[in-house]
Structure 1
Amino acid sequence: MNRHGGATLSLPSDRRTQHVSEEGCCGLADAPRWVRDADLTRLTPRECDVLVALGECLTNADIARRCHITERTAKKHVASIFVKLDIASRAEAAVIAALRKREFRSPRVSFRTLVGPAGR
C-alpha cells in the first residue's frame, strides 16, 4: 500500500490523437486526491519555478543552472516543496507539475528586464 491510500496513478498516454482538447482531457477532476489537495499557493514564486523544472525531470544541477542559483539552494527549494505539498518524491512533484501546470503563477519579470543591462 502506498502513502496515498493505496490508489495507483495511471497517467494518460502521450499520443496526441487521444487528447481531444486541453480542457476536456486529463483534467484535474481525474487526478488523484493528493494531486488536487496540494496547496500550490503555499509555494514561493521561486519554488513554483523549481516545481515546473521538477515536472521536466531536471536534476538539482540543471535546476540551479536554469534558475541562476547554486545547486545547494536548488536542493533546499526541492526539500521545501516536498514539505509544503506533503509529498515524498520527485516523481510526485512531477505529477503535480504536469497535472496542475495551468495554476502556476505567470512568469515574473526580472529586475534585469526592468532596469536594462548594467551601465545604462
Structure 2
Amino acid sequence: MWDNFKEIIILFFLAIQFFLGIGVQLGEKVPVIFEEKESTQVKIKDTATTTAVVTRVVDGDTIDVIFGDDSRPTRIRYIGIDTPESSPVSECGSTEATTRNRELVENRS
C-alpha cells in the first residue's frame, strides 16, 4: 500500500515540476491585463493644512473639490473605498452610495 502511495506522490511532484517548467518557458511574454492611465497629480503648497470645499459629488467614491483660491475643481477619488459605479451603466447600489456620500461631504470644507 505504501509503495503505491509513494509512487503517486512522486508522480504528483514530477507533474507539478513539469508544468511549472513549461510555464516558465512559455511565460516570457506576459499578456497585459490592464492598462495604466496617466495620473494628473495636484501639488499642494508646503503648508500644514489646506482647505478645500466639496463642490460636487460624482459618485460614491469620487468628489470634485476647489482648493483655496483656485477656481478650477479638482477630482478626488477616495483611496481604499470602492463603491458601485454610476457610469457608464448604473450598478446596483450606486444611487445609495452617491446619496450617502452627498449627505456626508457635499458643500463642506
Tell me, yes or no, whether TM beats 0.5: no
Q: Tell me the TM-score normalized by structure 2.
A: 0.25
Q: Tell me the TM-score normalized by structure 1.
A: 0.23
Answer 1 or 2: higher relative contact order, Cα 8 Å, separation at least 6: 1
